[in-house]
Amino acid sequence: MMFPVRCFTCGALIGHLWEEFKKRVEAGEDPGKVLDDLGVKRYCCRRMFLSHVDIYYEILNFPKVS
């Protein structure tokens, strides 16, 4: 739902980079270049960024019933 704290495959910390990545890509920068810039080298970590959808923005408005 939220961007993962660590890469699923290698376990590197990536959570703190998401917001900057998102901001810069939405501003029109090339995702690959932004990742190079952020120092995300391995392709296991890179796909974490490229394939993520921030779905919690919508789910936030539907609280769980308990």
Q: What six digits make up the tokens of 8?
A: 């699923």
Report which of 46, 60, 42 is spatially closest to residue 18, judged by C-alpha positions. Answer: 46
CB of 3 to other proteins, least distance (A): 7
CB of 56 to other proteins, least distance (A): 6
Among 26, 28, 53, 62, binds other proteins (CB under 8 A): 62
In the bound state with Zn ion, the residue whose beta carbon lies nearer, of 39 and 63, is: 39
Q: Does 16 bind other proteins (CB under 8 A)?
A: yes
Backbone angles phi, psi at 6, to 5 degrees: -125, 160
